[in-house]
Structure 1
Amino acid sequence: MDCLFNPAAIFSSDEQVYFLFRPQEPCLLEVQKTDCNGKSSWFVDDAVQKDGSLYALSPFDPLLLLLPILHAKRRQTAECAGAFLSLDDLLYDAGAPNLARLGDIPHFEEKLLTVCDVTAPTPDMQFFRLCDKKVVAWLRGKVDRIVAKFASYALLAALAAGEKEMEEKLILESRRHVAIRLLGDTLAPMWVAKLKESYGLGDTIASEYVYFDNVIKRPLAASNGAGEDNKAAAAKKTKLSHGQRTLAKANKEGMKNIASFFAKK
């Protein structure tokens, strides 16, 4: 493997995200590191390796990496849909010269057609321009695949356990919210907003359920005139667990409420 690069140079972001390009069977891989806060080590043959960090490499869709570049380079305005550019021009960036290696991925130009309009003045020459409608359709495909296999993902299994009392429509909407939240880690806010809009998701969904300890929990019953029931519900609401009390005392500066992830932009 070679071609280690940090896309922060492309995105002008302070967040450090690294990728490797695998030359054999060309593929883009995301690099993630776990270090257990320096409290782990490795036994290698007859010696102990003090650094117990573990690097995990996982396939990453190159179109997600290119999306902000494609958006910027089309130079769209209110009067113009933007410019068509060649593949070489799209993959050229002085701050990230290794970006051009993505062109080595098999059928890469076909992948671009998933999110781009194309014009071909000659049979051997193609020019590409990002298309919002195609991007949203492509992202919806990812959301729908996550939703279809929601319960099979270990990360999301705990969330599915809290859906027993929820209506089928609400379950679908909540799972779409979760899927969009996961994809949102690699997307600009404008694409998250367009994706939510395509599903008709707004602020009302956030009031139907809340997330806590990775479980979807139904809220307390709304007032319906049953005074004693409401008093009991209020008493139950004020009873906090040890974890909740600890969280309440923690320094929350810079932290976002979970409901903010579902708020309409």
Structure 2
Amino acid sequence: MTTKKKRSVHADKDSWVVITPDSALDTGRSEEGDPSFIKLKNPATGSSSLYLFGCGDVSVYEVKAFSEDFRSWFIGQTVQRDGRLLYVTSVDPLFLLLPYISSTATEGKFQPVEQMVMDEDYPECTRLLLCKQGMDSLHHVADEKEVGGLKFHRYNQEKTLEWLKKKVQRTVSTLKKSNISVGGGVKSSTFIRVKQEDATEEDYLRYAHGLISEYISEDLSKDLLKHLQLPEISSPKETEPPSKKRKLSDKPVEAGEDYTKFNSANFAQKPPKKMTAAQKSLAKVDKSGMKCLSAFFSPKVKQEKS
């Protein structure tokens, strides 16, 4: 009797399907090291994110994923259970350096950048110091001083906001050239509005500000919004006119209160009033044989004849 052999499927957990530009995989100068994936601190969230460093750490790329449920890849004779599709795009390394530079703002002194870019949780952040594009751009976010051939830097908030403002303006220009729909009429990334001319300059600025905010902290994003002189977003209109709303209480209801009391029929009843001294003494009088005053003015009921 023959037995069927179970076919074993080997999946390499360290393999992914990645779409990446040729520049990220340029290994023409192999002596400088191969491209490698590195985990660094996300400048916006502070959590761990995956980045791709090119050969010699000259360029940095962010790694994003398109994921759907119940997806796998067939690679050769194997099945890759991680069905995500990763795609790699270039990122300005100054965004990754900025959190470390700005963290020294309270000290208010010039320091070597090597002393600023240190992280026990992400020790490979020092590889950012090898990226020429990021190091050459430090003057956009910091003051520079050179002493004895050595450069020292100090974080500058105003320079940073001006640099981010230029980023927003260039993003607005790209959005217009690419005919990207923006503004309040866009409800999702898959919705395309028919009339593009409805978008105002403020719509473009807010949209571009949102894109740039994906690479900076929340506090810096708020400061940038003020620096762009964008007015605050007005509160949405009430869905029901005030005249039709039920007034449940004159006082604000605190979260700790029992909300079920609003469902009680006795909630609208007023509490009994306190009796005066005269009313209390009158209540003690023996009322037997006495008629109520209203009885003298009430209509008499006619008796039916039998």
TM norm. shorter chain > 0.5: yes
- 1:26 positional shift: 1.5
The match for 2:278 is none
Alignment pair present for 1:96 and 2:102:
no
For the pair shown, the structure with the greater C-alpha radius of gyration is 2
Q: Distance in 2 between matches of 1:160 and 1:144?
A: 22
Question: Alpha-carbon deviation of 1:64?
Answer: 1.1
* Counterpart residue number, 1:134: 159
**How large is the Cα RMSD of the aligned pairs?**
2.8
Number of aligned residue pairs: 195
> 2:197 is matched with which residue: 164, 171, 180?
164
After superposition, the Cα gap between the structure-2 partners of 1:50 and 1:199, relative to the gap in structure 1 and judged at 3 Å, is closer
TM-score where L is the length of structure 1 = 0.64
Alpha-carbon separation, structure 2, partners of 1:119 and 1:105:
20
Determine the C-alpha separation between the residues in 1 that align with 2:205 and 2:192: 12
Amino acid at match of 1:90: M
Structure 1 gaps, min length 5: 77-81, 211-218, 220-265
TM-score by length of structure 2 reads: 0.56
CA shift in 2, pair 1:89/1:33, >3 Å: same
Aligned-partner Cα distance in 1 for 2:227–2:44: 25
CA apart distance, 1:55: 1.3
The residue correspondences of 1:96-135 to structure 2 (distance < 5 A) are 96-122=122-148, 124-135=149-160
1:69 to 92, 100, 105: 100
Match of 1:147 among 172, 178, 181: 172
CA contact (8 A) 2:143 2:155 kept: yes
Task: Name the aligned partner's letter for residue 54 of structure 1.
Answer: L
What do the CA deviations read for 1:31-80 (whole angstroms, capped 9, x no partner)?
Answer: 11222122x3334345554432211111111111122211112325xxxx
Residue 188 to residue 176, structure 1, CA distance change in 2 (3 Å) = same
Structure-2 separation of matches of 1:51 and 1:136: 40
- In the superposition, relative to structure 1, how do residues 107 and 185 fare at CA in structure 2: closer, same or farther (>3 Å)? closer
Higher helix proportion, which one? 1
**What is the percentage of aligned positions where both structures have the same residue?**
22
Counterpart selection for 2:91 from 60, 65, 71 = 60
Task: For 1:129, give the aligned amino acid.
Answer: R
Letter in 1 for 2:96: L
In 2: Cα distance, 1:31 partner to 1:131 partner? 29
Q: How many angstroms does 1:136 deviate by?
A: 0.8
Alignment-mate amino acid for residue 117 of structure 1: D
